[in-house]
Amino acid sequence: MNHRTYLALALPLTLSTVTTPLLGAVDTAVMGQLPNPAYIGGVAIGTIIFNTMYWLFGFLRISTSGFAAQAFGANDELQGKLSFIRPFLIALAVGLFFFLLQKPIEYSAMALLNPAADVQTFASEYYGIRIWGVPLTLLNYVILGWLMGMAKIKWAVFIQIMMNVLNIVLDLVFVMGLSWGISGVAAATLIAEFTAFAVGLWVVVKAGGISLNFLPLKQILDLPAMKKMFMVNKDLFIRTICLLLVFNLFTYKSASFGTETLAANAVLLQIHYLMAYFFDGFSNATSILTGKAMGAKDYNLYKRTLSISAQWAILTSAFLTLMYWMFSESVIRLFTTIEEVVEMAMIYSDWLLLFPIATSIGIIFYGTFTGATETAPVRNSMIVSLLFYFLMFYLSVPHLENHGIWLSFIAFSIGRSVFLSLYVPKLSRQFQAL
């Protein structure tokens, strides 16, 4: 395996994953063209609510990809099918559960985040429409994770790009053309999510030969296999809770500094998501190749994947830092035309120059551990990073205010990279013993 092989996998995945945050980024950008910053704040609050639900169960994509990649590497058709059916049933149950509890979730979120009255009004309007897409999004996680793990990259890329291009077009039509306001961006996202689900399920059934009637329930609910899946998912669930605590505390404290600060931080966070998902494409490639190495018991493939992943983490972080340093104000103005928000965002913009190098190793090596389905190190390193974040937040925010929020976030990002890297030698020894 060489750089060309790695990039042939990583670049299409990067293209597809970078479109993922556009669901929130485009919503923010379109709202930023309207005169009231409360529109951006409403989307920011609504996005936090959905990120909380989706990220809690984001492991459905990640673990599905890891198990599917191992089945693919071992050339085990039966396990390949089971690696889809099991998480699909879990995603369906969880999605319906969230939908039925939509009112208590909304009430709790608003009470916790406590936004200004006008921001809360817009957030509720946004939430009331997008909540219908929760089951679809969780099922999409399983579909995309399985397609990636089974090396059906072209289909995974097509579905994600199709979903996000459709979202962008409908945002512009509903908001700029039909003047539907915040309801327009929510409706656009919902329609895009439904379309992606319909197309994705068709691809899985036709290209993968998947059918819920294909296997008896006893095989689907095989106890040792289910236990392994739940152990992996438990670790990734804890990791996600740590991330949610970071971002929810970030947004909560931002709101306490006023609507303009909340809007400015929302814009900068959307830019941060674009950077993070850029790395996520490389992380997905690393996960697929590591899973393949695990399934085939190929230590040399694992070593080469680890080395090339680290090199591209460094090169990618340098590229993103340079691009943002050159075009930061232009990028911010893509998200909003409100001068007060632009000026506020530029005050804190330089913190994002530190983000790529701080987080690159942590995100890309994350793919190494998920591909190997060895997720306890991911859980442990994230817990330690969260404690580091809390300490920095407690020490810096009272004195530095919003700069303190960003300082704490960058410290957390550094912690993710450093603490996870410490577990790599142990994983390498495990591979060597296969």
pLDDT at 351: 95
Q: Tell me the average pLDDT across 133-159.
A: 85
Query: Are the C-beta atoms of 344 and 283 separated by less than 8 Å?
Result: no
pLDDT at 60: 76
At 183, the amino acid letter reads S
Q: State percent of the chain over pLDDT 70.
A: 89
pLDDT at 4: 81
Please state, rounded to an integer, the average pLDDT across all residues of the chain: 83
**pTM exceeds 0.75, yes or no:** no
pLDDT at 49: 82
Q: Angle formed by the axes of helices 153-171 and 134-149, to 10°?
A: 150
Query: In the predicted model, is pLDDT for residue 404 greater than 90?
Result: yes
Q: State percent of the chain over pLDDT 90.
A: 22
Q: What is the DSSP string of 233-277?
A: HHHHHHHHHHHHHHHHHHHHHHHHT-HHHHHHHHHHHHHHHHHHH
CA Rg value for the chain = 21
Query: In the predicted model, is pLDDT for residue 9 greater than 80?
Result: no
Q: State pLDDT tens for residues 21-66.
A: 566 666 767 776 666 677 777 777 887 788 777 777 777 777 787 7
Name the pLDDT band for 317 (thresholds 50, 70, 90). very high
Give the separation between CA 16 and CA 61, rounded to whole angstroms: 14
Q: State pLDDT tens for residues 165-187.
A: 898 889 889 887 887 878 888 89
Report which of residues 213 and 86 the model is more confident about.
86
pLDDT at 179: 78
pLDDT at 175: 81
Give the separation between CA 242 and CA 275, rounded to whole angstroms: 20
Name the pLDDT band for 418 (thresholds 50, 70, 90). very high
Q: State pLDDT tens for residues 206-231.
A: 776 666 555 556 556 656 666 666 67
Query: Are the C-beta atoms of 123 and 115 separated by less than 8 Å?
Result: yes
pLDDT at 409: 95
pLDDT at 213: 58
Report which of residues 224 and 290 the model is more confident about.
290
pLDDT at 325: 94
pLDDT at 224: 65
Report which of residues 147 and 381 the model is more confident about.
381
Name the pLDDT band for 353 (thresholds 50, 70, 90). very high
Q: How far is CA 218 from the centre of its chain?
A: 33
The candidate with the shortest Cα–Cα distance to 413, out of 253, 275, 254, is 275
Q: State pLDDT tens for residues 93-136.
A: 888 988 898 889 888 888 877 777 778 888 888 888 988 988 99
